[in-house]
Amino acid sequence: MSLQVRSQVSLKPFNSFGVDVQARLFAEAHSDADVREALAYGQAYDVPVLVIGGGSNLLLTADIESLVLRMATRGIRVLSDDGSKVVIEAEAGEPWHPFVQHTLAQGLSGLENLSLIPGTVGAAPMQNIGAYGVEIKDVFAGLTALDRHSGELRDFSLEECNFAYRDSLFKQEPGRWLILRVRFTLNRVAHLHLEYGPVRQRLTEQGIEHPTATDVSRAICSIRNEKLPDPAVLGNAGSFFKNPLVPAALVAQLKGEYPDLVAYAQPDGQMKIAAGWLIERAGWKGFREADAGVHKLQALVLVNYGNASGLQLLDLAQRIQKDISERFHVDLEMEPNRY
C-alpha cells in the first residue's frame, strides 16, 4: 500500500484557524491512485473519509473520528493555446496563490483579482471563490471529479456546476464529489476588472496609469495584507460570514435608520449588504473573549489569538449572528465548513 495512514494526528498545522484537534486517522493524497486507496481504506474499515485541502475554510470543533485525507496532488499543464486564450489545468492540491502567480508569470490574465486567497485549487470551485469583482465562474473551463458513490470520474462544464455566490453543486451535495483537477480559460491580452474602487485607487497611488495583470495582482495583495491577518501569525479563515443577499425593500428600510449602510444592487433585483459593516456597526469589531475574537481591522474576520477552541470560535460566531438578526433583521451565514 503506497498510501501512508497515520493515527492520532494533530490537525493544528492543517487548518488556518490553528485549532488543535486530533484526527483518528490521517493521510495525504499525492495521486489519483492515493485518493482511490484512501476511499477503499475507509470502506474496508468502515471509517468515514473527510477530504481537506489547505484547511483555510474549516472550523474544527471536536476531534475528527474519520480518516482525514489531505489533497497534496501537484501539477499544472496547458491544455490548449490559440494565441489569445489559454486553457490551463491544475491539480486539486496546488496551493491557490502560487498557482495564480504561476499564471501571471506565464503572461496570462484572469486570476489576478483572486490573488492571495488562501486554500487550494480544488477548493476554489466548491466555494466559487471571489474577490474584487471576479469569481471562479468567470474564468472556469471545467473540472474533473470523482463520484464517491459510484467510483466513476466525471467532467463538469460551467453550466453543470450550479455556481452562485459562494456556492456550487459541490457544496450542495457534500461528501459526494471529490474534485481532482480544475481547468481555467485565461487570456494572453489582459481584460482587467478594475471596478472595485480601492484597487483603482491603489494603482493611482502607485503612479500606474496603464496597469498590467501583474500590477493588479500586486495592488490586491497589498490591500489584502493591510486588511486581513496572516494565518501563520494570527489564526483565521478569512471572511467568516457571507455578505447577505436581502430584498431591496429591507435595505431601503434600514437606510432610513442607517444612511451609511453599505449595500450593492444585484442583477436579480436583490441587494448584497456588507456583512463587515453590520458586524462593525453592532460593536463587535475588535471584540475578544479569552483567545477567540473579531479582528481589530476587519470585522468580517474571526481570529484565534492562540489557544481558542473551535467551540469557542463557534460560540462567538453564533452570538454575532443572533445580535445581527435582532438588530438588523438580517441573517448572517457562516462561510467555513464546520466539523
- Please indicate whether residue 6 is annotated as part of the active site: no
At 92, is the secondary structure helix, strand, or coil?
coil
Cα angle: 40, vertex 44, 48; to 5 degrees: 75
Single-letter amino acid code for the residue at 206 = Q
Give the integer Cα–Cα distance in Å for 232 and 17: 9
Contact indicator for 66, 50 with CB cutoff of 8 Å = yes
- Please indicate whether residue 168 is annotated as part of the active site: no
**DSSP state string for 258-323:** -TT--EEE-TTS-EEE-HHHHHHHTT-TT-EETTEEE-SS-TT-EEE-SS--HHHHHHHHHHHHHH
Identified catalytic residue from 115, 217, 239, 309: 239
Give the integer Cα–Cα distance in Å for 88 and 78: 4
**Could you tell me where the beta strands, DSSP code E, fall in the chain?**
6-10, 22-29, 49-52, 58-59, 64-71, 76-81, 85-91, 130-131, 134-135, 140-147, 153-156, 177-187, 235-236, 245-246, 263-265, 271-273, 288-289, 292-294, 302-304, 337-338
Residue of 29, 336, 46 lying closest to 181 (CA atoms): 29
Identified catalytic residue from 28, 37, 135, 335: 335
Identified catalytic residue from 24, 36, 74, 166: 166
- Please indicate whether residue 335 is annotated as part of the active site: yes
Q: Which residues are catalytic?
A: 166, 239, 335
